Structure 1
C-alpha cells in the first residue's frame, strides 16, 4: 500500500524555493505565506489529516514540490508530539500551545543547511534572499500547524491530549526527525 501524497502537487501557479512549494495557508499569523481560500483545505489541514496514516510508512516517493513541504510538516508534527509526550506532567492546552509555539519559532535547519536531515531530496534555495523567504514561510506554517495541532489534541475537552494522537509520539516518519 503506497503512502498518501499531497493533493496540492498539481498547483500550477505555486511559487517554488529550491524544489519546495510555497503554498497558500489559512492563517492570522503574520508572514510571507499567500492567503488561501477559507472555504478550501490547505497544506496544514492536509498535513494533519495525513499524518497518522503516513507516519506508518518508512518510504515515501516524492511526486511533486507539495510532497516535499508535506514531508517537512509531517516531521514537524512528529517533533511536536514528542515534545508534548516528554513533558514531566501532562501539559494543559495552554501549556502545550506555549511549548509548541516556542518550538515552531526556534532556529531550525532548512534545505541546503548542513544539518538538514533530508538534503539529498531537496534543492538548496538559489539565493540568500530565497533562503530567508523560505525560513520565514516555514516559520509561519509551523506556527499555524502547531496551533491547529493543539486544537485537535485537546478537542475532547478533558484537558488531556488525545491518546490516539499521542500514540504516534515515538513513531518516526521515514525513520527521520528534524532534530528539534
Structure 2
C-alpha cells in the first residue's frame, strides 16, 4: 500500500521544481519518516501533488541515511545524529543536474533562483530528517534497530541518492 502525502492539498510555502517546500507548520519530514517503511517497498509511486514529490525525495534520503548508519554503526543516538548531520549538510545534486536521480520526475529549475530555493529548502528538510531519525534507529536496549536498518537494502522506486 502506498501512502500519499496529506500535504498534497495544502498550499506549500513555496514550490520549486515541482516539489513543495513546506514550512514548519506542515511537518512533511515527520510524515516521510512515518510512511517510510511502507513506501520504501513500492516500485512505482504516482505523484498526486507537491507533497508527494517532496516525500519521494525525502524517502530516498532516508534510505541513504539508513545505508550510512548501517556502514558506520554508530554507538548511540548522539553519534548517529553526528553521522546523519554530516550527510545532510553534504553537497547534493538537484533537479537539472545531470546526475540527479529523479530526472524526468521532478522538473528542472527555470533559473538559478528556483534551483537555490529547492536546494535551501531540501537542505533544511535533510537536517530535520537527521534530527528526527537518529533517536528512532535505536531499540530499547540502546542498539541499532534491525527493524530500521533492514530497510537500508531497499531501493525506493529502484533508485538511490
Contact 1:17 1:126 (C-alpha < 8 Å) held by counterparts? no
CA RMSD, 1 decimal: 1.5
Contact 1:58 1:175 (C-alpha < 8 Å) held by counterparts? yes
Unpaired runs of 5+ in structure 2? none
CA distance in 2, matches of 1:146, 1:139: 11
Q: Give 1:67 deviation, angstroms.
A: 0.5
- Note if 1:142 corresponds to 2:141: no
SS in 2 for 1:49: helix
After TM superposition, the structure 1 stretch with the greater mean CA deviation from structure 2, 51-60 or 123-132, is 123-132
Contact 1:58 1:174 (C-alpha < 8 Å) held by counterparts? yes
CA distance in 2, matches of 1:100, 1:140: 13
- Note if 1:131 corresponds to 2:118: no
When normalised by structure 1's length, the TM-score is: 0.84
When normalised by structure 2's length, the TM-score is: 0.93
Contact 1:93 1:160 (C-alpha < 8 Å) held by counterparts? no
CA distance in 2, matches of 1:91, 1:73: 25
Q: Give 1:13 deviation, angstroms.
A: 5.1
- Note if 1:78 corresponds to 2:63: yes
Contact 2:12 2:23 (C-alpha < 8 Å) held by counterparts? no
Residue number in structure 2 paired with 1:159: 142
Unpaired runs of 5+ in structure 1? 26-35
Residues 128-174 of structure 1 deviation map (CA, whole Å, 9 limit, x = unaligned): 12211211111111011111001211362x22122211111111111
CA distance in 2, matches of 1:91, 1:56: 28
Higher helix share: 2
Point out 4+ residue stretches in structure 1 off by more than 2 angstroms: 89-92
- Note if 1:62 corresponds to 2:61: no
